[in-house]
Structure 1
Amino acid sequence: MKFYFHPQAREELEQAIQFYKSQQAGLEKRFLEAVDDAITRVCRNPLIYRKIDESARKCRLLHFPYAVIFRLASEQIEIVAIMHIRRQPDYWKNRK
C-alpha cells in the first residue's frame, strides 16, 4: 500500500531528525530507520493498529518515544503526524 505525508507531519519528522542529530552522532539515522520500519509495518497491515479516534490509528516506533499517526484514505495511507508520545496527544486532530 502506498503512503503520503501530511505537510505538517513531514515538518515534524524533519524537526525530530534535527533534534536527534544534535544529541548524538548517528542517532538521527537510527530514528529515521525506526520511522521507516513503522511505516513499512503500517503499509503491510494497517488495520491491526489501534484506533485512536474515528478515522486515525497509531503505530509506535521501536526504541523512540514517537508514534506514526495515520488514516486510511482510499487505497493510500495518509501519515497525519509523527507524534512524540509524551506531549499533547490530540494536537494533530484538526489536520485535514
Structure 2
Amino acid sequence: MKRSVKVLDAAAEEAAEAAAWYERQREGLGIEFLKAVDAALDLLEGEIVPLTPLPGFAGKRGAKRLVLNRFPYSVIVREQASEFIVVAFAHQSRRPGYWRNRVRT
C-alpha cells in the first residue's frame, strides 16, 4: 500500500518563509527552493528514496530525514505505517533539533 504525505502547518510555514528569504536574495531563487521541496515530497509519495534515520529520541519515534538538493535544508519526516508526516523543513545549521517536540504528536 502506498503511503500518503501530510505536511504539518508549522512545516509548511517554514518552507514558505525560507522561499521568501531566498526570493529576497535573488529573484526566482525562492521558486527554485519550492521546486526542490516539491521534488522531495514527490520522492516521499513515490517511496523512491530511502530516508536517513535520525539518532536519539526522534529516531526512536520514527523520524527520518531527506536532504534537499541544492539547498541546505532537510525534510524531517515521521514515518508511520500509512503515511509520512513532514514535521519540518529544517535548515541544516540553524537551531538544530528545534522540531523534536513535533515528533511526539
Q: How well do the aligned residues superpose, as a CA RMSD in angstroms?
A: 1.5
Which one is further off, 69-78 or 28-37? 69-78
Gaps of 5+ in 1: none
Q: Offset of 1:43 from its aligned partner?
A: 2.1
Alignment partner of 2:28 out of 21, 26, 29: 26
Check conservation: 2:5, 2:86, Cα contact below 8 A: yes
- Return the TM-score normalized by structure 1: 0.90
Q: How much identity, in percent, do the aligned residues show?
A: 32
Change (3 A) 1:34 1:47: closer
Aligned mates of 1:46, 1:87 — CA distance in 2: 28
Which residues of structure 2 form unaligned runs of 5+? none
- Most deviating of 23-32 and 37-46: 37-46
Structure 1 residues 30-69: aligned runs within 5 Å: 30-45=32-47, 48-52=50-54, 53-54=59-60, 55-69=62-76
Q: Which amino acid aligns with 1:50?
A: T
